[in-house]
């Protein structure tokens, strides 16, 4: 959460647990959040930062809706879209059937978060003042 709050004030954030202790498996990670007032260019900055990393799985930033979602592309493919009610089923299926993928994605997410904490951020422009 700290990595994303560097880019603006968060009004909502979700990151599922990495490990499901009830069922005894690692879970495929994804992150969802919403900025109170997203700054111009921040989405592209995050997208570029994720895209330049040597990740083990492919990631995407979906920002078509009010909440932004960073997730492995595989979830989107298997769920056949974020709007599909099968999204939760696709995540569960990957969790149960492909622990190797979950571990790779968890490792990637750690790398992504570290990178987001380190990239330079340009401050927002100051409002212009005119003097008479």
For residue 127, tell me if it sits in a domain: no
Give the confidence band of 130 by pLDDT, cuts at 50, 70, 90.
low
Please determine, for residue 123, whether its predicted confidence score (pLDDT) is greater than 80: no
For residue 129, tell me if it sits in a domain: no
Residue 118's pLDDT is what?
Answer: 94
Range 20-41 average pLDDT:
93
For residue 109, tell me if it sits in a domain: yes
pLDDT digits (tens, 9 = 90+) for 66-119: 899 999 999 989 988 888 888 889 999 999 999 999 999 999 999 999 999 998
- CA–CA separation, 96 vs 99, rounded Å? 7
For residue 103, tell me if it sits in a domain: yes
Q: Is 98 exposed, middle or buried (0-12, 13-18, 19+ CB in 10 A)?
A: middle
For residue 131, tell me if it sits in a domain: no
Residue 16's pLDDT is what?
Answer: 87
Are the CB atoms for 49 and 115 separated by under 8 Å?
yes
Please determine, for residue 129, whether its predicted confidence score (pLDDT) is greater than 90: no
Averaged pLDDT of the chain: 90
Residue 36's pLDDT is what?
Answer: 95
For residue 126, tell me if it sits in a domain: no
Q: State the residue range of the domain holding 33.
A: 2-118
For residue 34, tell me if it sits in a domain: yes
Total domains present in the chain: 1
The pTM of the full predicted model, rounded to 2 decimals, is 0.85
- CA–CA separation, 86 vs 118, rounded Å? 35
């Amino acid at each position: 959460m700290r990595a994303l709050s560097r880019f603006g004030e968060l009004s909502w954030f979700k990151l599922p647990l990495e490990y499901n202790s009830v069922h005894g498996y690692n879970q495929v990670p994804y992150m969802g959040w919403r900025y109170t007032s997203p700054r111009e260019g921040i989405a592209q900055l995050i997208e570029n930062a994720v895209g330049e990393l040597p990740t083990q799985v492919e990631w995407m930033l979906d920002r078509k809706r009010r909440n932004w979602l960073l997730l492995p592309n595989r979830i989107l493919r298997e769920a056949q879209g974020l709007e599909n009610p099968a999204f939760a089923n696709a995540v569960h299926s990957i969790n149960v059937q492909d622990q190797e993928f979950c571990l790779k994605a968890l490792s990637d997410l750690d790398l992504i978060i570290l990178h987001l904490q380190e990239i330079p951020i340009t401050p927002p422009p100051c409002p212009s003042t005119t003097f008479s």
